């Protein structure tokens, strides 16, 4: 079945460092891909999305490119801030089903 | 614009009591609807999803059930709560064609 694998955390960075959180997926058909962010004590917010191969989703300085050849959707940011500290989830909606499948989440801690 | 409402935000219930959590979506028709549970830690477990009125798919056997009595209403229920039902419950919807998926603010359930 469809699945999402993302890198284990926690990821600890200093402010202004470069961020990469890896995400790979397995799915039949052509899934839509998402990154969500969860701040402490809150629900999930959609951070960015991509619906077809080679699409680049971007928001708030974060970017991710839908790579069909490597089945990946890695999240990147050039310069992280303390306020970016949160849990980040990679997710997909399968091309053959309507199930919204999540990775296990990656905790990001940014230190001043 | 589309909005999703989930209530209550916080709930404390005794073991053996019933449960009813409600989720409604506005501004769209025929959404795909989802219930997730986030237990201690950060993983998201898909409990139920629905592609239409009266159509419910259950992902894991458990003490919970879901119903969709109207197009934009999704209800999570239990006849008798267990301690292990404690957690953060999240409702989500996605548009037809899977181009977006959005979450409610969540219900933090504590079973005592």
Q: Which residue of B has its CA nearest to A49?
A: B100
Q: What is the pLDDT of residues A57-111, one digit of tens each?
A: 999 999 999 999 999 999 999 999 999 999 999 999 876 777 888 999 999 999 9
A74 touches chain B (CB under 8 A): no
Residue B95 has a pLDDT of 83
Question: Over the range A49-86, which residues count as b (16 or more CB within 10 Å of their CB) and which as e?
Answer: bbbeeebebeeeebbbbbbeeeebbbbebeebeeebbb
Residue B2 has a pLDDT of 81
Residue A43 pLDDT level (bands cut at 50, 70, 90):
confident
Query: Distance between CA B50 and CA B91 in Å, rounded?
Result: 11
Instruction: Find, among A19, A38, A21, the residue nearest to A80 by Cα.
Output: A19
Residues of B with CB under 8 A from a CB of A: 32, 34, 36, 42-44, 46, 49, 51, 57, 90, 92, 94, 98-106
Residue B98 has a pLDDT of 61
| Alpha-carbon gap: A111 to the closest alpha carbon of chain B (Å) | 21
Mutate to test the interface with B, among A98, A103, A108 (most CBs of B within 10 A): A98
User: Using an 8 Å Cβ cutoff, are A75 and A35 in contact?
Assistant: yes
Query: A8 pLDDT exceeds 90?
Result: no
A26 touches chain B (CB under 8 A): no
Average pLDDT estimate for A12-30: 94
The residues, any chain, with a CB within 8 Å of residue A96's CB and separated by 6 or more, are A2, A27, A28, A29
Residues in A closer than 8 angstroms to B32, CB to CB, are 98, 100
Mean pLDDT, 10 residues at a time, over chain B (112 residues)? 89 97 93 89 85 90 90 96 93 80 91 96
Residue A24 pLDDT level (bands cut at 50, 70, 90):
very high
| Alpha-carbon gap: A58 to the closest alpha carbon of chain B (Å) | 14
């Amino acid at each position: 079945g469809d699945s999402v694998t993302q890198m284990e955390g926690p990821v600890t960075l200093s402010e202004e460092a470069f961020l990469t959180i890896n995400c790979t997926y397995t799915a039949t058909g052509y899934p839509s891909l998402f990154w969500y962010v969860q701040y402490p004590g809150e629900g999930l917010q959609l951070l960015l999305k991509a619906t077809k191969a080679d699409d680049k989703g971007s928001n708030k300085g974060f970017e991710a490119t839908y790579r069909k050849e490597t089945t990946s959707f890695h999240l990147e940011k050039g310069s992280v801030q303390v306020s970016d500290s949160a849990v980040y989830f990679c997710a997909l909606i399968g091309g053959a089903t309507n199930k919204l499948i999540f990775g296990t989440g990656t905790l990001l801690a940014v230190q001043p | 614009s589309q909005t999703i409402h989930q209530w209550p935000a916080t709930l404390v219930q005794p073991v053996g009591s019933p449960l009813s959590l409600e989720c409604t979506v506005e501004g769209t028709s025929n959404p795909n609807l989802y219930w997730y549970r986030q237990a201690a830690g950060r993983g998201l477990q898909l409990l139920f999803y629905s592609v239409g009125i009266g159509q419910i798919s259950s992902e894991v056997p458990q003490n919970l059930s879901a119903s969709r009595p109207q197009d934009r209403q999704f209800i999570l229920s239990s006849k008798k709560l267990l301690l292990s039902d404690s957690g953060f419950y999240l409702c989500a919807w996605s548009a037809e064609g899977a181009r977006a998926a959005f979450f409610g603010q969540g219900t933090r359930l504590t079973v005592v």
